[in-house]
Amino acid sequence: MDKIIIEGGQRLEGEVTISGAKNAALPIMASTLLADGTSALENIPDLLDIRTIANLLRRLGAEVDLSAGRAEINSNSVENLVAPYELVKTMRASVLVLGPLLTRFGKAQVSLPGGCAIGARPINLHLKGLTAMGAEINLEHGYVQAEAPLGLQGADIFFDLPTVTGTENLLMAAVLANGTTILRNAAREPEVADLANALTAMGAKIEGIGTDVLTIEGVKSLKAISYGVMSDRIEAATFMAAAGITGGRITIKQAPVSALTAVENKLKQTGLKFDHPGQDTIVVTGPSRINSVDIKTEPYPGFPTDMQAQFMAMMCFASGLSVITETIFDNRFIHVSELERMGADIRLSGNTAIVEGVPALLGAPVMATDLRASASLVLAGLAAKGQTEVSRVYHIDRGYERIEEKLSGLGARIRRIKA
């Protein structure tokens, strides 16, 4: 397994260009199962998870060509309606093929994703919604067996909580259903809106995009599209934190500025300065001393859970005490014990972490455990004294395109050791 070695203490300076958003590309690639013909998707990031869903679509029988930030997908030859355990267990977002397969082909067998490092992560709300639309759902041998031989029927669905992929699965199921579907308490993440815009380009009829009530009028068929995926707000936010933690100055290009309001607001309180010289460019300047700031993760437009670990890394160096509350996942503090190995002073109590800033962290061998935890360890390594060795970096490769290349371009002393 590869490792990343970082010599801390460099102020990061220069320009970085943000890649396409993983959490928009994944549902939009799955949505091509709904379209008749070959869809061409642009701004697709080169990530492990993208290659995983491409392989899953091929396993279903779709023709998928991935190259140079572009994905061409034709699903007319899909005939295998089974998403197998060995693929779904490596990436839970594979569950996003359930809605499209069921609504277009009338049947789907998708392995239950199981839990992951950050929590139990059930898909009960996905299944409850599909059942409300008339699907027959059975759970057998670790698989969801779903059938809708007469097609899905429009339904009025209320989500007990604003699940992101749950909203995406039901949105994709609804666009080819018979009649009208209303999704209430729907997730408002920008990636959900990006999917809805891609579906609209296919000919879907969706109202309320960007709000928590989506109204979908089912249509008979959808056409293939050419579509550019939005850029990654969490990658952009991670580079903002990199400027903050190293006291550097980074120009972030192709950033989805309007999707970063909550993050920018919180980072300003820590002392970061922001300039917006162009519509998708942000210049971030880190302070000489980071202020301690409390955060509480919330569904969009609140502070994103996918930035909690990175923000905590910054607070380890801050001038006082900060309270970090994680409300989305039940186990998203795995990075805490690794940060403590570097000298961080963090106390956990349930879903709250109390971080006492310290003058410095010391580089150490640490282990990545999930995508955003690994980003927080890299950030801590950038500012720590001495050498940090992050192992199991395949976690970081799932969500960050060429991270050590981008950080090196900003002056970081970082290299990958192929194991």
List the structure tokens of 29: 């690639």
Burial (CB count within 10 angstroms: exposed 0-12, middle 13-18, buried 19+), residue 285: middle
Segment near ligand EPZ (CB under 6 A); pick from 158-166, 202-210, 272-280, 405-413: 158-166
- Cα angle vertex 214, ends 154, 110, to 5°? 60
How many H-runs (helices) and E-runs (strands) does the chain carry? 14, 26
122 counts as binding ligand EPZ under rule CB under 6 A: yes
**What residues contact 179, with CB distance under 8 A and at least 6 apart?**
153, 154, 217, 218
List the structure tokens of 110: 């998708």
> In the complex, what is the shortest distance from the CB of residue 362 to ligand EPZ, in angstroms, rounded to a whole number?
27
> In the complex, what is the shortest distance from the CB of residue 76 to ligand EPZ, in angstroms, rounded to a whole number?
26
In angstroms, the CA 249 to CA 11 distance is 8
The answer to whether 316 is a known catalytic residue is no
Residue type, 339: L
| Cβ contact 272:285 at 8 Å | yes
> In the complex, what is the shortest distance from the CB of residue 106 to ligand EPZ, in angstroms, rounded to a whole number?
22
161 counts as binding ligand EPZ under rule CB under 6 A: yes
371 counts as binding ligand EPZ under rule CB under 6 A: yes
- For ligand EPZ, the binding residue among 16, 93, 272, 313 (CB under 6 A) is 93
Segment near ligand EPZ (CB under 6 A); pick from 101-109, 114-122, 245-253, 267-275: 114-122
- For ligand EPZ, the binding residue among 9, 84, 106, 119 (CB under 6 A) is 119
74 counts as binding ligand EPZ under rule CB under 6 A: no
169 counts as binding ligand EPZ under rule CB under 6 A: no
- Which residue lies nearer to ligand EPZ by CB, 91 or 384? 91
- Which residue lies nearer to ligand EPZ by CB, 161 or 219? 161
- For ligand EPZ, the binding residue among 164, 214, 407, 410 (CB under 6 A) is 164
In angstroms, the CA 200 to CA 175 distance is 9
165 counts as binding ligand EPZ under rule CB under 6 A: yes
139 counts as binding ligand EPZ under rule CB under 6 A: no
176: region left, alpha or beta (phi > 0 left; psi from -120 to 50 alpha): alpha
In angstroms, the CA 339 to CA 90 distance is 25
23 counts as binding ligand EPZ under rule CB under 6 A: yes
Instruction: Tell me the three state secondary structure of residue 181.
Output: strand
- Which residue lies nearer to ligand EPZ by CB, 22 or 406? 22
In 32-185, DSSP assigns E strands to: 35-36, 38-42, 63-67, 70-74, 82-83, 107-111, 136-140, 143-147, 156-158, 180-184
Segment near ligand EPZ (CB under 6 A); pick from 113-121, 140-148, 171-179, 211-219: 113-121
- Which residue lies nearer to ligand EPZ by CB, 160 or 275? 160
**Catalytic pick among 5, 48, 82, 116:** 116
Q: Which x/- pattern, by CB under 6 A, does the window 222-261 give for ligand EPZ?
A: ----------------------------------------
172 counts as binding ligand EPZ under rule CB under 6 A: no
What string of DSSP letters covers 278-346?
A: ETTEEEEE--SSPPP--EEB-STTSB-GGGHHHHHHHHTTSSSEEEEE--S-SS--THHHHHHHTT-EE
- Which residue lies nearer to ligand EPZ by CB, 161 or 417? 161
In angstroms, the CA 310 to CA 382 distance is 12
Give the footprint of ligand EPZ on residues 349-368 (CB under 6 A): none
359 — phi, psi (to 5°)? Answer: -60, -30
Sheet containing strand 413-417, strands side by side = 365-367, 387-391, 3-7, 413-417
Number of residues that bind ligand EPZ (CB under 6 A): 25
Residues forming contacts to ligand EPZ in the complex (CB under 6 A) are 22-23, 26, 93, 119-126, 161, 163-166, 187, 305-306, 328-329, 371-372, 399
Catalytically annotated residues: 116
